Chains A and B, each alone.
Chain A
Amino acid sequence: MTLFRTRKQVLLLVPQIVLLAALYGYPVVRTVVQSFYSVSFGSQQARGVGAANYVGVFRDDAFWAASLSSLYWTAGNLVIQLTVPIFLALLLNEQFKGMNLARATFMLPWVVPTVAFAVCMRWMLLPKIGIVAEALSDTLFFGRQVHLLGSGGFAMPTLILLNSWKFLPFGTLMILAALQTIPREVYEAAMVDGAGAATRFRHITFPLLGSMIWFVGFLAFSWNFNTFDLIWLMTQGGPGTATQTLPVLIYRTAFKTMRLGEASTISVIVAAVLAVIGFAYFLTMKPREGQQR
């Protein structure tokens, strides 16, 4: 009886599994196969080339440059996205009038379509016209005009800041969720013992947040690493190749220079590296404090 019920319930999973197999499974297999072929865009003809694509990619300076850019991009984003949300979550972790409105308002950057944000920021960063460019030139740059998105040195940090702006609500909400699992009594007991705010944060809040920060870090790592839209919309990987991360390189190789085989090869390499990191995360993942199951 129980077995029969279980079997019937598993049938309910079929639609989702079929969809996921078609959208994730098939493309992954096809990418792996295609990474050993030379495929030009538009034609269905593929020529087997063995491991030549891999040799080519590993010898390609553009691949290594994009890997470095990806590292820079991901690390820069993580530094911001793992620190600022803690501060924001502590700020929002308090009962006050209008808290729901404050939290909803606070979520807006996450809800804003990337495209709308990206194109408007491009305007705000235009030299002599954009308000952000003007404000920066009047202060940080002592009157010098700087085209942030057009400069090899500034383009990446600018994009990192903009991308993190969009991520902040998500990270904060996760950490806020973890904060709320810490019982109030723990703090009260610490206060009775004379622990100041800083001590309480260091010895109670931070250790208990540890695994959530680790989790947010993993999600942030994956999403940042994979970001394509914001970069493409703002700089298309430029100026030069200053902001050409691996996803941008994959897109450019497949849809601009029409080399699907090489694009698949880069995809496979990226996926392999990410898979290793992902499994390492899942292996080291400990159940969180306050977790019931």
Chain B
Amino acid sequence: MTSVVRRRLRAALTVAVLLILIWPLLYILVSSFKPIREIMGRAELFPKNPTLANYGTLLFARTPVRDFPRILLNTLYVSTLSALLSVALSSVSAYAIARTRALKSGITSKLLLFIYVFPTIILLTPMYQLFALIGLWDSYYGLVIVYSGLASPFCTWLLVSFFESIPQELEESAAVDGANAVTRFVRIVLPISMPGVVTVAAYAFISAWGEYMFALVMINSSAKKTAALGLATFTAEQYIEWGPLLAGSILIILPIFALFLPVSRFFIRGFMSGAVKA
């Protein structure tokens, strides 16, 4: 009896804590349906006259300097390419690390971790100069390279622990059957580590999707702005239109949630198994 009561109490506490944590997100969602008068009036929890006007303004009142559908597409493009490039780079290097005894001593993973906590602000100025020099400034591909470079050390670190858990005998028997290294990697290693690959791809995508600092320095043209940058530009205007801003935030948040929730189990598991091995 008491254990049932205690379990219920615990569940109630968990739900309450979760609600407190994600409350701002729920409030943003609800408020994005408020008409401008309620957004700029005294704060209320729920909209009295719900409207889609904020979304309408954002999606249909497009100008060359403020084109929200366009910046969403830009972000999608940049994030997808970054995720693909990160997975390609990190899976190959993680495989090499996991299968080379000399690299497994833990120094590599420490080094990767060290790069991961590197103060990126230091890279900002020289990277800007370098990219301007080689013509990758104000270009999607420049951003993709930056984002892959930022994400791939962590992706590699996470994938090494996945690859290491694959029994080497599996690959050896495939080698006996005549499978070469590429076949073994693509046919055996990658499919078995699917949770890891998905985790890594989601991580790279998510971190590219919301990135602000490098986009701020690397992108100049309005037409090439990514979502984070575009949304921030809205607030730099003289008169801030909070309504479309809230709607825009929701449109940036929702796709990333839609992507994250289905893979979250893999993600959390992959992350936790990497964490205890660090």
Q: Which of A212-241 contact B (CB under 8 A)?
A: 212, 215, 218-219, 222-223, 225-226, 228-229, 232-233
Asked if A142 is at the interface of the complex by the 8 Å CB criterion, the answer is no
- Minimum CB–CB distance from A272 to chain B (whole Å) comes to 11
Pair A115/B231 contact, Cβ less than 8 Å: yes
Pair B123/A24 contact, Cβ less than 8 Å: yes
Asked if B17 is at the interface of the complex by the 8 Å CB criterion, the answer is yes
Pair A13/B93 contact, Cβ less than 8 Å: yes
Taken together as a complex, chains A and B put the C-alpha atoms of A96 and B11 apart, in Å, by 8
Pair B100/A6 contact, Cβ less than 8 Å: yes
Q: Which of A5-27 contact B (CB under 8 A)?
A: 6, 9-13, 15-16, 19-20, 22-24, 26-27
- Minimum CB–CB distance from B251 to chain A (whole Å) comes to 9
Instruction: Please pick, from B210, B246, B271, the residue contacting A123 in the complex, using a CB distance under 8 A.
Output: B246
What sequence of 0s and 1s flags, for each residue 131-143 of chain A, a beta carbon within 8 Å of any chain B beta carbon?
1011000000000
Pair A173/B268 contact, Cβ less than 8 Å: yes
Instruction: Please pick, from B110, B217, B261, the residue contacting A282 in the complex, using a CB distance under 8 A.
Output: B110
Pair A23/B117 contact, Cβ less than 8 Å: no
Asked if B118 is at the interface of the complex by the 8 Å CB criterion, the answer is yes
Asked if B189 is at the interface of the complex by the 8 Å CB criterion, the answer is no
Asked if B194 is at the interface of the complex by the 8 Å CB criterion, the answer is no
Taken together as a complex, chains A and B put the C-alpha atoms of A107 and B100 apart, in Å, by 34
Pair B24/A120 contact, Cβ less than 8 Å: yes
Q: How many residues belonging to B are interface residues under a CB distance threshold of 8 Å?
A: 94
Pair B213/A229 contact, Cβ less than 8 Å: yes
Pair B14/A173 contact, Cβ less than 8 Å: no
What sequence of 0s and 1s flags, for each residue 202-233 of chain B, a beta carbon within 8 Å of any chain A beta carbon?
00001001101100010000000001110110
Pair B17/A91 contact, Cβ less than 8 Å: yes
Instruction: Please pick, from B24, B252, B257, the residue contacting A124 in the complex, using a CB distance under 8 A.
Output: B24
Pair A111/B121 contact, Cβ less than 8 Å: no
Taken together as a complex, chains A and B put the C-alpha atoms of A112 and B231 apart, in Å, by 14
Instruction: With A20-B149, A105-B18 as known contacts, state yes or no: A116 contacts B272, CB within 8 Å.
Output: no
A-B contact pairs, 19 of them (CB 8 A): A12-B93, A13-B97, A20-B153, A30-B129, A96-B14, A103-B264, A103-B268, A104-B268, A106-B22, A113-B256, A117-B24, A124-B24, A134-B43, A176-B272, A178-B275, A212-B275, A264-B126, A267-B122, A282-B114
| Chain B residues within 8 Å of A, Cβ to Cβ | 7, 10-11, 13-15, 17-18, 21-22, 24-25, 27-28, 39-45, 89-90, 92-93, 95-97, 99-103, 106, 110, 114-115, 117-127, 129-130, 145-146, 148-150, 152-153, 156, 206, 209-210, 212-213, 217, 227-229, 231-232, 234-235, 242, 245-246, 248-250, 252-253, 256-257, 260-261, 264-265, 267-268, 271-273, 275-278
| Chain A residues within 8 Å of B, Cβ to Cβ | 6, 9-13, 15-16, 19-20, 22-24, 26-28, 30-31, 34, 88, 91-92, 94, 96, 100, 102-109, 111-117, 119-124, 128-131, 133-134, 165, 168, 173-174, 176-178, 180-181, 212, 215, 218-219, 222-223, 225-226, 228-229, 232-233, 246-247, 250-251, 254-255, 260, 263-264, 267, 270-271, 274, 278, 282, 288, 290-293
